[in-house]
Amino acid sequence: MTMAGQTINDRLLAARHSLAGQGLAKSVCKATTEECIGPKKKHLDYLVHCTNEPNVSIPHLANLLIERSQNANWVVVYKSLITTHHLMAYGNERFMQYLASSNSTFNLSSFLDKGTVQDGGMGVPGGRMGYDMSPFIRRYAKYLNEKSLSYRAMAFDFCKVKRGKEEGSLRSMNADKLLKTLPVLQAQLDALLEFDCQSNDLSNGVINMSFMLLFRDLIRLFACYNDGIINLLEKYFDMNKKHARDALDLYKKFLVRMDRVGEFLKVAENVGIDKGDIPDLTKAPSSLLDALEQHLATLEGRKVSAANTPTQSSSNQRNFKSAVSALSSTSSAFGTAAASSKFDTSNGIDEQLKAQVLAEEEAAMNQYKSKVSSPTSSGAAGAALTNPFLSSPPAAQAGQPIVDLFGAASAQPAAAAAAPPGQATKASDDLLQLGNPFADMFEASGAPGATGNAGDGAANYDGAGSSPFDWGATDDDGGAAQ
């Protein structure tokens, strides 16, 4: 494993998928590399796009991710879970439907990064980290399995249902269905809270990304949970004995989970999430629990003081109203946070760094586009590199005459025009009196006093005794040059 950059295994596996034409498998491989950072956004976005394509096999995609979760490397396993969670949250619903309807679950209850354990965890970079991350992988996999089971039981995702007083699904649910729904929601919330990490556990980009996804789910789950409890309390005094007993038990469990949610939010605040983005958790007064217990005792025929029954005591009625008001305040705070899309795209990445990287990427792309659209307009250096006919960069001077490449005039080099009498030019400069329009004319056109015609070069040779192909006819022997 490597702490930075893709490993050879990653590159070989991606190349193998490319050669086999397995584009989807390659994308899954790219999202779940051994690199100790969270899956890259571009790979996650592409896989989300794939879930919306009708010609992409959702079972194949899900099975590829489950297969990657069987890897021995903790980073690959963890990133396959993160990618699956991301597709559950942002992908097409048919991805969640397949996971819920199939028996394909993450069997990681006994996962341990054995490779890092065998060498003591110190022989490779991040070895000890793999041993420490293994418990969180087991808990994370359990939560994702529970999330699928919840969808199977309810046929909807608690994180995506409508919330609030007016249109909230759990606020408008009847008592019978509500008493069946809340235990399912409670089980999913329990699995999330069992992740049980502290601030010092969030020590790398992989677990940080999973924590952000869990934080997002927690906000939405508890907003639904709180809506359901408010609805339950509003119907409590109209329930029969059995339903009232079940409702009281659910409310007691709600109070315990509210404390655990508060602990999770403290961890979120300690790891750098803005306190303004963390909803306030307003607890109901303890007197409400007393009122609920007294009402159940009345229904069960137990002796209670008439003054203490909630239907006859104005004090208990006020306590009930204040409790519902407190829970409504919590519901509003969590609902606002759940509706925010701030945590949908951040993935725990510093926004300033993200903006800087995006700006650099955009600048590089604009430079590349300008080169592709106009390869000769990027300056003299670029012209010389992209035009094989230019022997030297053209001089970009205003007012310079345009060179006629196919004209007969001005074909003699400026150097030949300025040559002293009696000194011959090289045969390569005037091969068969044709000249070199692609190199010489650029110099000739810009040289002052460069006159003559294409035939002037012939006067420099002795027609009787020399030939333009005779490379030995130079002025070195003093006989060939006139």
Q: What is the pLDDT of residue 99?
A: 94
What confidence score (pLDDT) does residue 328 get?
81
Architecture of domain 1-157: Alpha Horseshoe (1.25)
Q: Which residues contact 324 (CB under 8 A, 6 or more apart)?
A: 230, 233, 234, 284
CB 46 within 8 A of CB 30: no
Compute the residue count for the chain: 482
> Cα–Cα distance between 191 and 195 in angstroms, integer?
7
Q: Scanning the structure block, which residue is given the tokens 């949610």?
A: 261
Residue spans in the chain of domains classed CATH 1.20.58.150: 170-349
Give the torsion sign (CA, 123, 126, 132, 133). negative
Q: What is the distance between the alpha carbons of residues 475 and 482, in angstroms, rounded to a whole number?
A: 8
Superfamily of domain 170-349: ANTH domain (1.20.58.150)
3-state secondary structure string, the chain? CCCCCCCHHHHHHHHHHHHCCCHHHHHHHHHCCCCCCCCCHHHHHHHHHHHCCCCCCHHHHHHHHHHHCCCCCHHHHHHHHHHHHHHHHHCCHHHHHHHHHCCCCCCCCCCCCHHHHHCCCCCCCCHHHHHHHHHHHHHHHHHHHHHHHHHHHHCCCCCCCCCCCCCCCCCCCCHHHHHHHHHHHHHHHHHHHCCCCCHHHCCCHHHHHHHHHHHHHHHHHHHHHHHHHHHHHHHHCCCCHHHHHHHHHHHHHHHHHHHHHHHHHHHHHHCCCCHHHCCCCCCCCCHHHHHHHHHHHHHCCCCCCHHHCCCCCHHHHHHHHHHHHHHHHHHHHHHHHHHCCHHHHCCCCCHHHHHHHHHHHHHHHHHHHHHHHCCCCCCHHHHHHHCCCCCCCCCCCCCCCCCCCCCCCCCCCHHHHCCCCCCCCCHHHHHHHCCCCCCHHHHHHHCCCCCCCCCHHHHHCCCCCCCCCCCCCCCCCCCCCC
pTM beyond cutoff 0.85: no
What tens-digit pLDDT sequence spans the chain (482 residues)?
444 466 777 677 667 656 555 778 889 999 999 888 999 999 999 999 999 999 999 999 999 999 999 998 999 999 999 999 999 999 999 999 999 998 768 889 899 887 654 444 444 444 568 889 999 999 999 999 999 999 999 999 999 988 877 777 898 899 999 999 999 999 999 999 999 999 999 989 999 999 999 999 999 999 999 999 999 998 998 899 999 999 999 999 999 999 999 999 999 988 888 888 888 888 877 778 888 888 888 888 876 555 454 444 566 666 677 777 778 888 788 878 877 756 564 444 444 445 555 666 677 777 767 766 655 444 445 445 555 555 555 554 545 555 555 555 544 544 444 555 555 555 555 545 555 555 555 555 454 544 444 444 444 444 444 444 444 444 444 444 44
Angle value at C-alpha 218, between 106 and 269, nearest 5 degrees: 120
Tell me the two tokens of residue 451: 């006159």
